[in-house]
Protein backbone atom coordinates (compact mmCIF):
# COMPACT_ATOMS: atom_id res chain seq x y z
CA UNK A 1 0.00 0.00 0.00
CA UNK A 2 1.03 3.60 -0.49
CA UNK A 3 0.73 6.27 2.18
CA UNK A 4 0.62 10.02 1.78
CA UNK A 5 0.33 12.87 4.21
CA UNK A 6 -1.65 16.09 4.16
CA UNK A 7 -0.94 19.61 5.27
CA UNK A 8 -0.14 19.36 8.96
CA UNK A 9 0.47 15.59 9.00
CA UNK A 10 3.48 13.72 7.60
CA UNK A 11 2.93 10.02 6.86
CA UNK A 12 5.66 7.58 5.85
CA UNK A 13 6.33 3.83 5.91
CA UNK A 14 9.90 2.78 6.58
CA UNK A 15 11.74 -0.36 5.56
CA UNK A 16 11.66 -1.31 9.24
CA UNK A 17 7.90 -1.84 9.03
CA UNK A 18 7.12 1.29 11.07
CA UNK A 19 4.36 3.58 9.83
CA UNK A 20 5.22 7.04 11.11
CA UNK A 21 2.57 9.71 11.63
CA UNK A 22 4.05 13.09 12.55
CA UNK A 23 1.92 16.10 13.43
CA UNK A 24 3.53 19.04 11.65
CA UNK A 25 1.90 22.36 12.52
CA UNK A 26 4.45 23.64 15.05
CA UNK A 27 3.35 27.24 14.52
CA UNK A 28 -0.04 26.24 15.99
CA UNK A 29 1.37 23.91 18.63
CA UNK A 30 0.25 21.08 16.33
CA UNK A 31 -3.44 21.74 16.87
CA UNK A 32 -5.39 19.15 14.87
CA UNK A 33 -7.95 19.98 12.20
CA UNK A 34 -10.54 17.91 10.32
CA UNK A 35 -8.22 17.20 7.38
CA UNK A 36 -5.53 15.81 9.69
CA UNK A 37 -8.06 13.64 11.53
CA UNK A 38 -9.32 12.19 8.24
CA UNK A 39 -5.75 11.45 7.13
CA UNK A 40 -4.91 9.74 10.42
CA UNK A 41 -8.04 7.59 10.15
CA UNK A 42 -7.13 6.59 6.60
CA UNK A 43 -3.50 5.77 7.44
CA UNK A 44 -4.28 3.72 10.56
CA UNK A 45 -7.11 1.88 8.83
CA UNK A 46 -4.78 0.98 5.93
CA UNK A 47 -2.05 -0.07 8.34
CA UNK A 48 -4.37 -2.56 9.99
CA UNK A 49 -4.70 -4.37 6.64
CA UNK A 50 -1.13 -3.88 5.43
CA UNK A 51 1.17 -6.81 6.20
CA UNK A 52 4.19 -4.57 5.65
CA UNK A 53 3.28 -2.51 8.75
CA UNK A 54 4.35 -3.98 12.09
CA UNK A 55 4.13 -0.89 14.33
CA UNK A 56 2.66 2.63 14.14
CA UNK A 57 4.58 5.59 15.62
CA UNK A 58 2.84 8.90 16.39
CA UNK A 59 5.03 11.93 17.12
CA UNK A 60 5.05 15.68 16.48
CA UNK A 61 7.35 18.32 15.06
CA UNK A 62 8.56 21.18 17.24
CA UNK A 63 8.36 21.95 20.93
CA UNK A 64 4.80 20.69 21.51
CA UNK A 65 2.95 17.48 20.75
CA UNK A 66 -0.59 18.79 20.35
CA UNK A 67 -2.50 21.65 21.96
CA UNK A 68 -5.87 20.09 21.11
CA UNK A 69 -8.31 20.59 18.28
CA UNK A 70 -8.03 23.76 16.19
CA UNK A 71 -11.37 25.22 17.27
CA UNK A 72 -10.35 28.74 16.28
CA UNK A 73 -9.50 27.59 12.77
CA UNK A 74 -12.79 25.75 12.41
CA UNK A 75 -14.82 28.74 13.63
CA UNK A 76 -12.97 31.03 11.23
CA UNK A 77 -14.17 28.90 8.32
CA UNK A 78 -17.82 29.25 9.26
CA UNK A 79 -20.09 31.69 7.50
CA UNK A 80 -22.09 34.26 9.42
CA UNK A 81 -25.03 31.88 9.36
CA UNK A 82 -25.00 29.54 12.35
CA UNK A 83 -24.98 25.80 11.65
CA UNK A 84 -28.13 23.82 12.17
CA UNK A 85 -28.84 22.52 15.67
CA UNK A 86 -27.20 19.15 16.18
CA UNK A 87 -24.22 19.83 13.91
CA UNK A 88 -21.71 18.62 16.51
CA UNK A 89 -23.37 15.26 17.12
CA UNK A 90 -23.65 14.75 13.34
CA UNK A 91 -20.01 15.60 12.69
CA UNK A 92 -18.08 13.92 15.50
CA UNK A 93 -18.99 10.26 14.73
CA UNK A 94 -17.19 10.47 11.39
CA UNK A 95 -14.21 12.45 12.65
CA UNK A 96 -12.53 12.36 16.08
CA UNK A 97 -15.04 9.85 17.39
CA UNK A 98 -13.97 7.45 14.66
CA UNK A 99 -10.24 7.98 15.14
CA UNK A 100 -9.96 7.02 18.81
CA UNK A 101 -11.87 3.69 18.58
CA UNK A 102 -9.78 2.81 15.53
CA UNK A 103 -6.57 3.40 17.47
CA UNK A 104 -7.71 1.18 20.33
CA UNK A 105 -8.88 -1.69 18.11
CA UNK A 106 -6.47 -1.82 15.16
CA UNK A 107 -4.36 -4.99 15.48
CA UNK A 108 -1.14 -3.05 15.01
CA UNK A 109 0.63 -1.72 18.10
CA UNK A 110 0.80 2.06 18.38
CA UNK A 111 3.61 3.95 20.12
CA UNK A 112 3.16 7.65 20.84
CA UNK A 113 5.92 10.07 21.81
CA UNK A 114 4.99 13.50 23.17
CA UNK A 115 6.65 16.66 24.41
CA UNK A 116 5.56 20.13 25.45
CA UNK A 117 1.82 20.73 25.56
CA UNK A 118 -0.37 17.62 25.35
CA UNK A 119 -3.97 18.80 25.64
CA UNK A 120 -7.49 17.74 24.72
CA UNK A 121 -7.54 15.42 21.74
CA UNK A 122 -3.74 15.44 21.89
CA UNK A 123 -3.96 13.75 25.29
CA UNK A 124 -6.57 11.34 23.96
CA UNK A 125 -4.26 10.29 21.12
CA UNK A 126 -1.70 9.55 23.79
CA UNK A 127 -4.19 7.63 25.93
CA UNK A 128 -5.51 5.61 22.98
CA UNK A 129 -2.02 4.42 22.05
CA UNK A 130 -0.67 1.12 23.33
CA UNK A 131 2.54 2.72 24.60
CA UNK A 132 2.94 6.40 25.43
CA UNK A 133 6.39 7.89 26.12
CA UNK A 134 6.53 11.54 27.17
CA UNK A 135 9.15 14.09 28.11
CA UNK A 136 9.24 14.40 31.89
CA UNK A 137 8.56 18.13 31.61
CA UNK A 138 5.61 17.77 29.22
CA UNK A 139 2.42 19.64 30.19
CA UNK A 140 -0.56 17.29 30.11
CA UNK A 141 -3.94 18.93 30.45
CA UNK A 142 -7.68 18.49 29.84
CA UNK A 143 -8.89 22.02 28.97
CA UNK A 144 -12.62 21.32 28.75
CA UNK A 145 -13.89 22.45 32.15
CA UNK A 146 -11.90 25.67 31.95
CA UNK A 147 -13.32 26.40 28.50
CA UNK A 148 -16.90 25.71 29.58
CA UNK A 149 -17.69 22.65 27.49
CA UNK A 150 -17.56 18.86 27.86
CA UNK A 151 -14.84 16.37 26.85
CA UNK A 152 -14.95 14.59 23.51
CA UNK A 153 -12.84 12.13 21.50
CA UNK A 154 -13.11 9.46 24.18
CA UNK A 155 -11.65 11.37 27.11
CA UNK A 156 -14.29 10.30 29.60
CA UNK A 157 -13.78 6.66 28.57
CA UNK A 158 -10.00 6.54 28.22
CA UNK A 159 -8.84 8.56 31.22
CA UNK A 160 -10.77 6.77 34.03
CA UNK A 161 -9.58 3.41 32.71
CA UNK A 162 -5.96 4.51 32.94
CA UNK A 163 -5.85 6.48 36.19
CA UNK A 164 -9.07 5.53 38.00
CA UNK A 165 -12.24 7.54 38.54
CA UNK A 166 -10.97 9.70 41.40
CA UNK A 167 -7.94 10.98 39.52
CA UNK A 168 -9.95 11.26 36.31
CA UNK A 169 -12.24 13.72 38.09
CA UNK A 170 -9.23 15.88 38.94
CA UNK A 171 -8.16 15.93 35.31
CA UNK A 172 -11.53 16.23 33.60
CA UNK A 173 -13.56 18.26 36.10
CA UNK A 174 -10.98 20.30 38.00
CA UNK A 175 -8.67 20.77 35.05
CA UNK A 176 -5.55 19.71 36.91
CA UNK A 177 -2.45 19.76 34.71
CA UNK A 178 0.28 17.16 35.11
CA UNK A 179 3.88 17.15 34.01
CA UNK A 180 5.22 14.08 32.24
CA UNK A 181 6.78 12.57 35.35
CA UNK A 182 3.50 12.89 37.27
CA UNK A 183 1.60 11.34 34.35
CA UNK A 184 3.88 8.30 34.51
CA UNK A 185 3.39 8.03 38.28
CA UNK A 186 -0.38 8.11 37.77
CA UNK A 187 -0.25 5.40 35.10
CA UNK A 188 -1.52 7.78 32.42
CA UNK A 189 1.52 7.10 30.25
CA UNK A 190 3.94 4.23 29.87
CA UNK A 191 7.16 6.11 30.56
CA UNK A 192 8.54 9.62 31.19
CA UNK A 193 12.10 10.47 30.16
CA UNK A 194 14.23 13.60 29.87
CA UNK A 195 13.31 15.56 26.75
CA UNK A 196 16.64 14.78 25.10
CA UNK A 197 15.98 11.05 25.41
CA UNK A 198 12.43 11.08 24.06
CA UNK A 199 13.15 10.16 20.44
CA UNK A 200 15.48 7.34 21.46
CA UNK A 201 13.01 5.92 23.98
CA UNK A 202 10.17 5.97 21.44
CA UNK A 203 12.40 4.26 18.89
CA UNK A 204 13.39 1.61 21.44
CA UNK A 205 9.81 0.67 22.30
CA UNK A 206 8.75 0.75 18.64
CA UNK A 207 11.70 -1.42 17.64
CA UNK A 208 10.80 -4.07 20.20
CA UNK A 209 7.23 -4.15 18.95
CA UNK A 210 8.25 -4.03 15.30
CA UNK A 211 10.59 -6.98 15.81
CA UNK A 212 7.98 -8.93 17.75
CA UNK A 213 5.49 -11.64 16.85
CA UNK A 214 3.09 -9.35 15.00
CA UNK A 215 0.12 -11.71 14.85
CA UNK A 216 0.35 -12.58 18.54
CA UNK A 217 0.83 -8.93 19.55
CA UNK A 218 -2.20 -7.83 17.54
CA UNK A 219 -4.39 -10.55 18.99
CA UNK A 220 -3.16 -9.76 22.51
CA UNK A 221 -4.15 -6.12 21.98
CA UNK A 222 -7.58 -7.28 20.82
CA UNK A 223 -7.95 -9.59 23.83
CA UNK A 224 -7.14 -6.82 26.30
CA UNK A 225 -9.63 -4.47 24.63
CA UNK A 226 -12.39 -7.08 24.43
CA UNK A 227 -11.81 -8.29 27.98
CA UNK A 228 -12.87 -4.98 29.49
CA UNK A 229 -16.46 -5.44 28.34
CA UNK A 230 -17.26 -9.17 28.45
CA UNK A 231 -17.76 -11.81 31.17
CA UNK A 232 -14.91 -14.16 32.04
CA UNK A 233 -16.50 -17.09 30.21
CA UNK A 234 -16.67 -15.13 26.97
CA UNK A 235 -13.14 -13.84 27.38
CA UNK A 236 -11.87 -17.40 27.84
CA UNK A 237 -13.50 -18.27 24.51
CA UNK A 238 -11.78 -15.23 22.99
CA UNK A 239 -8.46 -16.46 24.35
CA UNK A 240 -8.99 -19.91 22.86
CA UNK A 241 -9.81 -18.31 19.50
CA UNK A 242 -6.69 -16.11 19.62
CA UNK A 243 -4.53 -19.06 20.65
CA UNK A 244 -5.82 -21.04 17.69
CA UNK A 245 -4.88 -18.26 15.28
CA UNK A 246 -1.51 -17.34 16.80
CA UNK A 247 -0.39 -20.98 17.02
CA UNK A 248 -0.79 -21.24 13.24
CA UNK A 249 1.63 -18.38 12.57
CA UNK A 250 5.20 -18.71 11.35
CA UNK A 251 6.33 -16.64 14.33
CA UNK A 252 4.90 -19.27 16.69
CA UNK A 253 7.04 -21.94 15.05
CA UNK A 254 10.05 -19.65 15.21
CA UNK A 255 9.41 -18.98 18.90
CA UNK A 256 9.38 -22.70 19.65
CA UNK A 257 12.54 -23.28 17.63
CA UNK A 258 14.32 -20.43 19.40
CA UNK A 259 13.30 -21.84 22.77
CA UNK A 260 14.64 -25.28 21.90
CA UNK A 261 17.85 -23.87 20.48
CA UNK A 262 18.30 -21.44 23.40
CA UNK A 263 18.60 -18.33 21.21
CA UNK A 264 16.61 -15.12 20.73
CA UNK A 265 13.71 -15.52 18.28
CA UNK A 266 13.89 -13.91 14.84
CA UNK A 267 10.27 -13.03 14.16
CA UNK A 268 9.19 -12.01 10.67
CA UNK A 269 5.67 -10.84 11.51
CA UNK A 270 4.06 -13.71 9.63
Query: Would residue 4 count as lying in a domain?
Result: no
Contacts of 19 (CB under 8 A, 6+ apart): 3, 11, 12, 13, 43, 47, 50, 53, 55, 56, 57, 108
Q: Are residues 110 and 146 in the same domain?
A: yes
Residue 46: domain span: 9-210
Query: Would residue 270 count as lying in a domain?
Result: no
Total domains present in the chain: 2
Q: Are residues 187 and 218 in the same domain?
A: no
Q: Are residues 32 and 100 in the same domain?
A: yes
| Torsion sign over Cα 61, 64, 67, 72 | negative
Q: Are residues 153 and 165 in the same domain?
A: yes
Query: Would residue 266 count as lying in a domain?
Result: no
Q: What is the pLDDT along the chain (270 residues), one digit of tens a residue?
A: 889 999 999 999 999 999 999 999 999 999 999 999 999 999 999 999 999 999 999 999 999 999 999 876 655 555 556 666 555 555 555 577 899 999 999 999 999 999 999 999 999 999 999 999 999 999 999 999 998 989 989 999 999 999 999 999 999 999 999 999 999 999 999 999 999 999 999 999 999 999 999 999 999 999 999 998 999 999 999 999 999 999 999 999 999 999 999 999 999 999
CA-wise closest residue to 45 among 125, 118, 101, 93? 101
Query: Would residue 127 count as lying in a domain?
Result: yes
Q: Are residues 172 and 251 in the same domain?
A: no
Q: Are residues 257 and 162 in the same domain?
A: no
| Alpha carbon distance 224, 104 (integer Å) | 10
Q: Are residues 226 and 93 in the same domain?
A: no
Contacts of 189 (CB under 8 A, 6+ apart): 126, 132, 133, 134, 140, 180, 183
Beta bridge partners of 141: 119
Q: Are residues 165 and 151 in the same domain?
A: yes
Q: Are residues 131 and 256 in the same domain?
A: no
CA-wise closest residue to 99 among 152, 139, 171? 152
Amino acid sequence: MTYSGVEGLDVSLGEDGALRLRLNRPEKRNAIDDVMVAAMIDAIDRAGRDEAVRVIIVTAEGEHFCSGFDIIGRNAERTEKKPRAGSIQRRLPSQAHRLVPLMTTVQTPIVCGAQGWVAGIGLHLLAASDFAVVADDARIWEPFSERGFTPDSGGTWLIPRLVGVTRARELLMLGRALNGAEAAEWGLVHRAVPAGELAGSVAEVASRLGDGATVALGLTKWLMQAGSAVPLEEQLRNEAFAMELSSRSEDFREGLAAFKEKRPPRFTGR
